[in-house]
Structure 1
Amino acid sequence: MKADARIEGNSVVLSSPEVKEPVAVRFAWHRMAEPNLCNKEGLPALPFHAGEVPKRDWLTLKIPEAKEYTLVYDLDITKAGREIRYDVDNHDKITGPFDRIGYFLELTNSEGTQYVWVSMDAFTQDASKIGVPTLASKAKFQQPVTNMTVMTNVRGVAAGSGLTGNLEFWSSNYGPANSANVPGASSQVWDFGDQPSDPQDGYGSMQVGNPAAKQTVFAFNHWVAGRNADVGIGNCPGQNPDWTFAANAGQYSAGRLRVLVRLKK
């Protein structure tokens, strides 16, 4: 936002009708700027900044529903590997029942930040099984989910509420066969309807699908590969819509996955 400036003694006082609670200022920061702040000798002021600009939290800014939720897990996916080490792990603190589960994935590259929020009716009451479905977590879900809500800034991804989704959470290998007969899924390519197989400590899949839209809402696969893991929002533009074998996590400078629950009142 631009600010109006006036000089009062040895101070420059800034104001803007669009900023109610200013926290930071910067002057002549752009290389095309033509600053006109000079001292009494006519010498221009050097570029400067003061204060700290708070980091944007897209979850808080864009997802009103999330205000009702409690954080369970927070994962920097750029640090993924065979052992999942969460930056925040509150699953032991979730002692009461919850009726909704939400996932918020952010992916940042040179073009900006993509995000997706997907929430659904609770498919388990075990908070230890709603994060990344590692072998140690003993999480395995291949099932529909109800009352799904999707909010995203990724073009082409179907947003809405009251949707029926599909989970594919497991630590094992998997093939393209549509063993669960997910409506609209293919048996020829890896998508939102696949078939888990041995070994149980295998490739790994963490996917939420939207069968009616024939889309993957988000996918985080093969996390054991670290920067060569598969991750994406919406359908992968390659052969496999669910990002299997994409090995693209290293393309992002930042990636964050948060898992939340809405506690029953």
Structure 2
Amino acid sequence: MWPWLAIAALPLLLWLALCAGMYVQQRHFIYFPQATRTTAADTNFELRRDGLALRGWQLHPRQRDALIYFGGNAERVQDNAADFDRSLPDWTVYLLPYRGYGPNPGEPDQTTLVADALALYDEVRRRHPQGRIAIVGRSLGSGVAVQVAAHRPVDRLVLVTPFDSLSEVAATHYPWLPVRWLLRDRYDSASGLRAHRGEWLVLRAGRDAVVPPRHTDRLIAAAPTPPQVVDFPEAGHDDLSLSPRYWSAMAGFLRADRQSPVR
């Protein structure tokens, strides 16, 4: 009888082993810095945190207003420099790879990335005391951007292919796993966005297979104030920014009503 019980229990044991493996290795499934590796030789901006030097790029220094860009997973944020240079020459733009990404040391996790992002905001505010600060977050970066907007005054918030929470997106992709219990880095944007008091824009991809559009829609529905939404019905997760409307929509939103900054 016991061998038959062992055989019957084998699928459950394998499932539990899979759950344990996913829990231990989960950050390897969340963060993909490998394709972003580069040297620090061509960077021109540095933020010191926890004894580490985080290096990135600053465009158009000494402008009154500043924009901080938080990139998507596996995104080389410096690849956006030419588009920001052309579209927003009147903003100082900060492109800082996450720790563990680009030229930067360290290991990424939600607590650390959000703390780095808040420290970056504080440094940018110090450099632009009278200016507006805008935040742009794409995909994974939208989760970081919302957490900054929940804890600091942000004049304009742009979210590109954002989600309600990372745990909900993971549950869509892995319905056979209890990811809502297993996931440590949740990036709960639906909750965090409730503290944001500025205007916000959503750039939504209609054929997004990474962040299915319903997760963007749930984020919008959960927010206390509705955003402006620019829909790209034929775009996917990675090709959204290839549309000329992408940069024109962002620039138009950021330049509208340039009055006193939110405090």
Larger radius of gyration: 1
More helix by share: 2
TM-score normalized by structure 2?
0.25
* Structure with greater contact order relative to length (CA < 8 Å, sep ≥ 6): 1
More strand by share: 1
TM-score normalized by structure 1?
0.25
